Structure 1
């Protein structure tokens, strides 16, 4: 992969972020997001609401995006959650690896002690393999929790990694 720069997302990045995340949300096969989500609701979910939103910038434009947010509130707000989406044209080029690696440092810098993914679909084998390669443990399986548009009901994993 050519040079990737990961930086905080700017408001001017939103149109390109939306162009990446909209088809993923519409497909309904990886995220537990309504397939008819509005752009405003998607912006609140991905860009405005989280503690931080980042983009992976390449020589010809944005290659991916991710957010970090507290997974819980109150006495469990030291655990974060992230969402990652790679631009379709950049799939398989190391963008997700670069974003996740960056997010581990960014999460520590934001004061989080651990990262937890609450719903990693068993059918999303590339993501499962990547998270495992980066040190995430599967701490639970949620049986048939996701209604996949092509596969029917599929299992999902809860994956966790301490950041210290």
Structure 2
């Protein structure tokens, strides 16, 4: 199998869209769009993110030891594109949750402290201990097969 076939197969897994953000003192906030995120444990509350070795945010995460996972709402495609490097002339203002930078309007803002990191292949996995969460009641932005999508409400027919 070649790299393209592998990427295409992985793109068949429907995911939400997140922006991972961190803040380094004196350097400001850094972020990246990611769909490689999952929950790991309820007790203690842990999540994992996966960061490519060439990503600029990698060294920032290793230095700051904090991050947030911002699960984007269906009206935040532009935010995703900014942090994916597709829109270069726009910026995003950040709020803070438990001292970590978060994106206003995200359906979930998850503040984390790095508890461990593991290098696997061409990525580093960061395990984050969740320190706080803020939720919004909105629909998620979804990514499938290389395209942004949104959920459509199921129509329930009563007889």
TM-score (norm 1): 0.28
Task: Point out the structure with the larger strand share.
Answer: 2
TM-score (norm 2): 0.29
Higher alpha-carbon Rg: 2
If asked which structure has higher relative contact order (CA below 8 Å, sep 6+), I would say 2
Task: Point out the structure with the larger helix share.
Answer: 1
